[in-house]
Amino acid sequence: MYCTDVSKSQELLQRALKTIPLGSQTFSKAYIQYPEKTSPLFLTHGQGSRVWDVDGNEYIDLVSGLLPNVLGYNDPDVNFAIQHQLQKGISFSLSTELEIQLAEKLCSIIPSAEKIRFGKNGTDVTSAAIRLARAYTGRDKIATCGYHGWQDWYIGSTTRNKGVPKAVCGLTSPVPYNDLNQLETLLKTKEYAAVIMEPCNTTMPAAGYLQGVKDLCETHGSVFILDEIITGFRFALGGAQQYFGVTPHLSCFGKAMGNGMPISAIVGCTDIMKEMEEIFFSGTFGGEALSIAAAIATIDKIEKEDVTDQLWSFGKELATQIQTIINDHDLNDVIGILGLDPWRILSYKDIDSYTSFDIKTLFIQEMTKRGILINGSFNINFAHTILDQDKIVAAFKQTAEILSRAVHKNEMSNLLVNPTIKPLFKVR
Ligand SMILES: Cc1ncc(COP(=O)(O)O)c(C=O)c1O
């Protein structure tokens, strides 16, 4: 499967740029994130684990829509639920029973869930969690660890903070993962409303770390928020909190919850969630019924078909084979796979005169050419098959050979047909 003609994508990009800044609605889907000349940039449709671009090329999708597509594209059970609800209506003038059904379901499967509210994006619910924590504690400062969305309170603490008032930037402090001492120094000031963190991304939590964060929060009167936007419905049905056995005060779910439909949830203990009645967290589409019906169907299927078990075993096999190829080609100083099996993250490394961005550009260029759509991680889903796995591994092996020639035989300038992707802000 060689996908080399992306001329229609290139044409559409030029057209898009006339009306759409960056040519995309999502930073991570924009042309600046991919090798400039050889990447597909616009897709037409998907089925299971596959997607097709506007030039007619077929890819095994390892981006999975940036992780919502946990069951794969066009899942029949989720589609049925959406179509069934579509006959009845989408956005109603009052609430529906579906909202209660979904809230009850989440309370039954997520360890920390006693009360629930819904949003449309991950950012909606991480921002709601921060407002709740501020309301509950009467404090303003926030400690963060990971990526939490596009709102001022978080993005102000990154290097891409243009447009965020300085006063807001100063309220958020990033803390390093697995470092309880630095966190304690902050929390001891008693100025912190909350610690919000991804339970785990590139690095495994050290023994006792997550519980240690919760204990520090409780000692110093801060709210412990787990951002499970990625780990929810992926690490376990009840999220990473179930997998790691730590119960946060509040947690945030999104992405996989509706298999591609826009829905998210903030869940937490009753006494903090009670503040929802006092703060303002409200939107026209919060109870939009197609997404809620899709979420019920998605979660039911994840539960009935042991989807998270399959993600663990598929991811483990894939990671084992990939690591073997990296070892065989002496590429451990060039590329690595971090994280846990359901969500492996690629690390591209600086080596000799080549930057990690040269490596990334060549890697994506070669994988894409071989029909694998990938960027920074292995976003596997339930629709990926063993045949897909074989093809991913075969493409990775050929790409590894090319990476090896590029760095070990100094052939980078001949092999890299794209300008190097430009460094962007890093959140993990
Ligand atoms: C861990 C985490 N939190 C929050 C968000 C923000 O979610 P959204 O893009 O749906 O607003 C993301 C998005 O990638 C995420 O990965």
Per-residue model confidence as pLDDT tens digits over 111-131: 999 999 999 999 999 999 999
Average pLDDT score over residue span 383-389: 98
Q: Say how far residue 83 (Cα) sits from the centre of its chain.
A: 27
pLDDT at residue 210, as a whole number: 98
pLDDT at residue 2, as a whole number: 80
For 167, residues 6+ apart whose C-beta sits below 8 A from its C-beta are: none
Burial of 144 (0-12, 13-18, 19+ CB in 10 A): buried
Nearest Cα residue to 289 out of 22, 90, 110, 119 = 90
Indicate if ligand 1 lies below 6 Å from the C-beta of 123.
yes
Task: Quote the ligand 1 centre to 398 CA distance (angstroms).
Answer: 32
CB 342 within 8 A of CB 234: yes
Task: Quote the ligand 1 centre to 228 CA distance (angstroms).
Answer: 9
State which ligand 1 atom lies nearest to the alpha carbon of 231: 1
- The CATH code of the domain at 91-287 is 3.40.640.10
Nearest Cα residue to 133 out of 69, 203, 193, 188 = 193
% the chain with pLDDT above 90: 97
Tokens 């090896």, residue located: 404
State which ligand 1 atom lies nearest to the alpha carbon of 66: 14
Q: At residue 267, does pLDDT exceed 70?
A: yes
Residue-wise DSSP of 306-361:
THHHHHHHHHHHHHHHHHHHHHHTT-TTTEEEEEETTEEEEEE--BTTB-HHHHHH
pLDDT at residue 268, as a whole number: 98
Q: How many Cα atoms sit within 13 Å of 18 on the Cβ side? A: 4
Task: Quote the ligand 1 centre to 149 CA distance (angstroms).
Answer: 5
pLDDT at residue 1, as a whole number: 61
Average pLDDT score over residue span 180-185: 98
Indicate if ligand 1 lies below 6 Å from the C-beta of 118.
no
The amino acid that residue 322 corresponds to is: I
* Domain residue limits, the chain: 7-73+307-414, 91-287
Walk across the sheet containing 335-340 and list its strands.
335-340, 343-348, 377-378
State which ligand 1 atom lies nearest to the alpha carbon of 121: 10
Q: Per-residue confidence at 426, pLDDT binned at 50, 70, 90? A: confident
Fold (topology level) of 7-73+307-414: Aspartate Aminotransferase, domain 1 (3.90.1150)
Q: At residue 428, does pLDDT exceed 90?
A: no
Q: Per-residue confidence at 379, pLDDT binned at 50, 70, 90? A: very high
Indicate if ligand 1 lies below 6 Å from the C-beta of 149.
yes
What does the mean pLDDT of the chain come to?
A: 97
pLDDT at residue 425, as a whole number: 78
pLDDT at residue 424, as a whole number: 80
CB 38 within 8 A of CB 368: yes
pLDDT at residue 224, as a whole number: 98
Average pLDDT score over residue span 256-264: 98
Nearest Cα residue to 197 out of 175, 177, 171, 226 = 226
Q: Per-residue confidence at 73, pLDDT binned at 50, 70, 90? A: very high
Task: Write out pLDDT tens, residues 220-229.
Answer: 999 999 999 9
